[in-house]
Structure 1
Amino acid sequence: MNYFRTYLDQHHRTLESIPTDRVAQLADILKKCWSEDRQLFAFGNGGSGTNASHFITDLGKSASDKQAGQNGLRRFRCFSLSDNVSWITALGNDYAYEDVFFGQLQNYGRPGDVVLTMSVSGNSPNVVKAVEWANENGLITIALVGGKRGRLAEIAQESIVIEDTHYGRVEDAHMAICHMLCYCFIE
C-alpha cells in the first residue's frame, strides 16, 4: 500500500514540474505549423512511440475537427513516424535501426515542417539522427526528454526536460504535455 501512495506522490511532483510557459511556446509553434499548412512529425521508441501515435491521433482528429469546424479552415497535417511497421523494419533491416526515423523524414520532411520527438534518455541513436537531419534541412525540432537530458536536449531547437529519470513518470509527463498541446486547440 505504501508503494502506491509513494508512487502517486512522486508522480504528482513530476507533473507539477512541467514548465507550462514552455508548453505555451510549443503551442505557438504548433499554431504556426497549422496556419502555414506545414507538416508535423512525431516519433519515439517504445512507450514514447506510443505517446507519439496517441498525440498525432488527438491532434489529427479532435484538434483538427475543432479548428476546421470553427473556422472552415484546414486541418492539422500530422504523422507519426513510429507507426509504419513495414517501413521501419525495411529501413532497420536494409540499413540500420538508427535510420528508421531519419529515413522516413528524407521522404516527407520539408523546410519549415515541425519534428516533435520524445525520449526519456534523450540519447536514442535513431531519434538523435533524425533530429540532426531535421536541423540540417530546415525543420523546426522539438524534444521532450527526461532528467538525464541526453544529446537531444543539446541539439533540439526547443526542448522540455522533465526532471525525473523514472521511465513511467517521464512518459506520463510527456503525454500530459501532448494532451495540453492538443486540448489548447480543442477547448
Structure 2
Amino acid sequence: MRSWLSEYLVAQHRALDSIPLDGVEKLIDTVRQAWRDDRQIFAIGNGGNAANASHFATDLGKGASDKTGKRFRVLTLADNSAWLTALGNDYCFDDVFLRSLQNYAKAGDVLIASSVSGNSPNLVRAFEWAGQNGLHTVALVGAKRGRLAEIAGQTLVIEDSHYGRVEDAQMTILHMLCYAFMDGGAA
C-alpha cells in the first residue's frame, strides 16, 4: 500500500506541475474585470466538479468578497436540485445549465466550467449558448481536452486523465483564483 500511495503522490505532483500559470493569471484578470464591471460569474460542472463549482462560489462569494470589500456576483448552477431536476425532466439533462443561463446570464458575464473529459453534453451546450450570447467562457479540462477546449474562449489543461488528480488540480486553480483576491492583492 505504501508504494501505491507514494506513486499516487508522484502522479499528483505531475498533475499540479502541469497547471498553466499564464492561464491562471489570465483567468484572474478575467474575473477581476467581471468584478470591476459588476458582472455575474457562473460556475458549472458535474459530479466532483459540481462540488468544486460550489466550493469555488463559496470561496469567491464569501471569502474574497469579505477581503476586498466589494461583493463578487458568483453563482454555481449545479446547487439547486429542484431547478436542475425540473429542467432535466421537462426538457433534457443536456440543457440544465443552458436553460439556467438563459434565465440569468447577460453578455459580458463569465462562465467557468470544470470537466475532466471536456465532453459533457450539458457543459458543451452551455458553452455553445454562452459563446453565441457574448459571455466570456473558461474551461478547466483534463488531458483529453474534449469539445470544451475547442469552443472555450480560454482553456486551462491539466495534463492527466485520472479523474481524482485532475479534479484536485482544477480545485487548486480555483483556490489560486480566490486567494489571489484574498491574500495576493489581485484587487
| TM-score, normalised via structure 1 length | 0.97
| Aligned-partner Cα distance in 2 for 1:173–1:100 | 25
Q: Which residue of 2 aligns with 1:145?
A: 141
| Aligned-partner Cα distance in 2 for 1:139–1:166 | 30
Q: Which residue of 2 aligns with 1:3?
A: 4
Q: Which residue of 1 aligns with 2:90?
A: 94
* RMSD (Å) for aligned C-alpha atoms: 0.5
Q: Which residue of 2 aligns with 1:175?
A: 171
Q: Give the Å deviation of 1:16.
A: 1.0
Map 1:1-187 onto structure 2 (within 5 A): 1-68=2-69, 74-187=70-183
Which runs of 5 or more residues in structure 1 are unaligned? 69-73
How many residues end up aligned between the 2 structures?
Answer: 182
Q: Give the Å deviation of 1:17.
A: 1.1
Residue identity over aligned pairs, in percent, reads 60
Write the letter of the residue equivalent to 1:4: L
Q: Which residue of 2 aligns with 1:71?
A: none
| Aligned-partner Cα distance in 2 for 1:136–1:17 | 30
| Aligned-partner Cα distance in 2 for 1:143–1:78 | 16
| Aligned-partner Cα distance in 1 for 2:109–2:60 | 15
Q: Give the Å deviation of 1:157.
A: 0.3
| TM-score, normalised via structure 2 length | 0.97
| Aligned-partner Cα distance in 2 for 1:17–1:112 | 29
Deviation sequence 1:140-168 (CA, Å, 0-9, x none): 00000000000000000001011100000
Give the match's secondary structure for 2:107. coil
| Aligned-partner Cα distance in 2 for 1:106–1:182 | 26
Deviation sequence 1:1-42 (CA, Å, 0-9, x none): 110000000001110111111100100000000000000000
Runs of 4+ aligned residues of structure 1 deviating over 6 Å after TM superposition are: none
Write the letter of the residue equivalent to 1:140: H
Which runs of 5 or more residues in structure 2 are unaligned? none
